[in-house]
Amino acid sequence: MAEPITVIGAGLAGSECAHQLARLGHRVVLREQKPEKRSPAHQSPNFAELVCSNSMRSDNPESAIGLLHAELRRVGSLILSAADRQRVPAGDALAVDRELFSADVHAQLSSHPNITIVPGEVLTVPEGTVVFATGPLTSQALTDALAPHVGEKLYFYDAIAPIVATESIDMSIAFRQSRYGKGGGDDYLNLPLTKDEYTHFVEELNAGAKVTPHAFEEPKYFEGCLPIEVMASRGEDTLAYGPMKPVGLRDPRTGLQPHAVVQLRMEDRAGTAWNLVGFQTRLTWPEQKRIFGLIPGLSNADWVRMGQIHRNTFLDSPRLLNPDFSLKNEPRILFAGQITGVEGYVESTACGYLTAMALHARLTGTVFSPPPAGTALGALYRHVTGEAHPEGYRYQPTNVVFALFPPIEGRFKKAEKRVQYAARAVREFDVWAPSAPHPVSPMQTAAPLKVVA
Ligand SMILES: Cc1cc2nc3c(=O)[nH]c(=O)nc-3n(C[C@H](O)[C@H](O)[C@H](O)COP(=O)(O)OP(=O)(O)OC[C@H]3O[C@@H](n4cnc5c(N)ncnc54)[C@H](O)[C@@H]3O)c2cc1C
């Protein structure tokens, strides 16, 4: 009989991964440090704990996260089915009774004949085939044990700069140019500021409301990755000599070097979104919208993602992992969940599903067929493998957002575009469904989606 697979961590990803493997007939040893040991954010003794909000966000399939819900339901996700059973009213959001939800998942896994649960903290990398699903707060001992296997491509803080949708940037103000014409000469978008605009912006950054770090997050920043407001607090000119330096740039409208610039780097290969270089921040989201909206060219910005800084253990997955989420230099070790660089309860669940499918294919000598790029599952897969990102992209965790999907061509209003994304996802999902190693109910004919296009 084949050796059992070890899954470490019974959070959202580990629970989903163990369930899917067991459902396909594999024996799984599920190792979870709770209840003996808990991270500073975990409190419940049960599996699949929601450490903060009890919401899995919008259930509307015309949003990227709602589409991910719909797809996970169709593939028979343990987490989504428990969430649906333990749902509480929350408008169009999928919110759950967190205690009942975790108890439900715990009971399903504990009673599965193919799953053996072994409690206790894992301190070393186990022998055999092993899936790490230990999450953003992987215990210190295991992080230390993992480090020699992944080298310097294991990160501990997530310093996320905001991302803005291309179509919402005022292109009569922005100009494309690289400093001193380096690289392609026009790789960056630049938003120029006059001295008065810059001074006002720095004042607002200093006065803006910031998020208070959690007790377990001592604000220890790398000097090369300081929050924008920390740099601003060091003196009025610090930013103008740092990420907002204008050297090597000329505004084509004036022929002059601006006083300061905000540089935007392309976020996805298709150029649908741009990130504000060096703008990682602890400003609250409403303050980011207000203060970054003062930047010339961003007054009507449609924010794809806001900036954040928080404790997060994650791998530089595109550089470290094979397309089946195993380590390039040690394929018996695989990863699932937030540790791969996805962000959020549902995204981590989705990653647990994908890792289980990829591992199943390897163990049965079949071909792993990832969901297509236009589906929410496929978009997340392409994020982790790096296919969704331009060359030289500095890998950063993300929620599922439409910027990860191949763009929809043509000019549409925002709401129409969402319908187009969703309609394409439904079509592509149904074409892919028969290649999954388990029965998948089609999107078109199962419980109705709102999508009509
Ligand atoms: C403070 C905080 C607030 C958050 N708020 C939200 C939110 O509101 N909404 C949202 O969508 N996401 C939120 N997230 C992110 C969310 O928690 C993760 O996306 C999700 O839980 C990740 O799933 P996972 O399975 O990868 O990791 P987890 O759910 O964290 O599961 C990892 C499991 O591994 C176990 N483990 C760790 N080390 C070991 C070890 N050495 N041996 C054995 N077991 C081990 C842990 O006990 C845990 O059960 C938050 C995260 C944090 C830290």
- For ligand 1, pick from 19, 34, 51 the residue to mutate: most ligand atoms within 8 Å of CB: 51
- For ligand 1, pick from 98, 339, 345, 400 the residue to mutate: most ligand atoms within 8 Å of CB: 345
Does 448 map to a domain? Answer: no
* Å from CA of 35 to ligand 1 middle: 14
pTM: 0.84
pLDDT band, residue 446 (cuts 50/70/90): very low
As a whole number of angstroms, the distance between CA 448 and CA 63 comes to 15
62 Cβ inside 6 Å of ligand 1: no
Does 440 map to a domain? Answer: no
- For the domain that residue 102 is a member of, what is the CATH number? 3.50.50.60
9 Cβ inside 6 Å of ligand 1: yes
Does 58 map to a domain? Answer: yes
pLDDT at residue 222, rounded to an integer: 60
Q: 312-339 burial, b for 16+ CB within 10 Å, e for fewer? A: bbbbbbbebbeebbbbeeeeebbbbbbb
Shared domain check, 168 and 153: no
Shared domain check, 144 and 36: yes
351 Cβ inside 6 Å of ligand 1: no
Q: Which residue has the tokens 């962000």?
A: 343
Shared domain check, 302 and 347: no
Boundary residue ending a domain (306, 321, 355): 306
Does 16 map to a domain? Answer: yes
Shared domain check, 322 and 182: no
- For ligand 1, pick from 17, 33, 354 the residue to mutate: most ligand atoms within 8 Å of CB: 33
52 Cβ inside 6 Å of ligand 1: yes
As a whole number of angstroms, the distance between CA 259 and CA 264 comes to 17
Residues 266-320: tens digit of each pLDDT: 877 788 899 999 999 999 999 999 999 999 999 999 998 899 888 889 999 999 9
pLDDT band, residue 177 (cuts 50/70/90): very high
Domain containing 42 equals 5-158+311-435
Residues in contact with 186: Cβ distance below 8 Å, sequence separation at least 6, in sequence order: 176, 177, 178
pLDDT at residue 185, rounded to an integer: 77
Shared domain check, 136 and 180: no
Residues 358-403: tens digit of each pLDDT: 999 999 999 999 999 999 999 999 999 999 888 888 888 899 999 8
- Alpha-carbon dihedral angle through residues 8, 14, 15, 18, given to the nearest 10 degrees: -80
CA-closest residue to ligand 1 atom 21: 345
Shared domain check, 420 and 325: yes
pLDDT at residue 443, rounded to an integer: 83
Shared domain check, 197 and 145: no
Shared domain check, 322 and 297: no
- Report the domain count for the chain: 2
399 Cβ inside 6 Å of ligand 1: no
Does 244 map to a domain? Answer: yes
Does 389 map to a domain? Answer: yes
Shared domain check, 167 and 154: no
Shared domain check, 171 and 154: no
Shared domain check, 148 and 9: yes
Shared domain check, 369 and 283: no
Boundary residue ending a domain (281, 306, 331): 306
CA-closest residue to ligand 1 atom 10: 344
- For ligand 1, pick from 57, 143, 338, 340 the residue to mutate: most ligand atoms within 8 Å of CB: 338
DSSP string, 204-242: HHHHS-BPPPPTT------GGG--HHHHHTT-TTTGGGT
Does 56 map to a domain? Answer: yes
266 Cβ inside 6 Å of ligand 1: no
Boundary residue ending a domain (306, 334, 349): 306
